Amino acid sequence: MAEFFIIIVIITILVALGFGLIGMLKGGRRGSDRMFKSLVARISLSVFLFLLVMFAAYMGWIEPNPVVFSTSTQK
């Protein structure tokens, strides 16, 4: 279930990025306002996504992939 919300938030961040692009292409005062609102939305959603991932990992809803680093230097 947590994976579903994570994907939805990522898609929403990409949509906000698209709105920022449209604002940048339009330019002027209205475009600048749209870019600023898009930036605020992306930052807020990114912070929310980070907190959601941390909380989901803490609750055990998601598990990180194990990463194994080899320390041997054999050639």
Q: Which residues of 10-34 are buried (b: 16+ CB within 10 A; e: fewer)?
A: eeebeebeebbeebeeeeeeeeeeb
| For residues 37-41, average pLDDT | 91
| For residues 31-45, average pLDDT | 89
Task: Fill in the DSSP letter of residue 60.
Answer: T
Please state the pTM of the whole predicted model: 0.75
- The full set of domain ranges for the chain reads 2-59
What is the residue-averaged pLDDT of the chain? 87
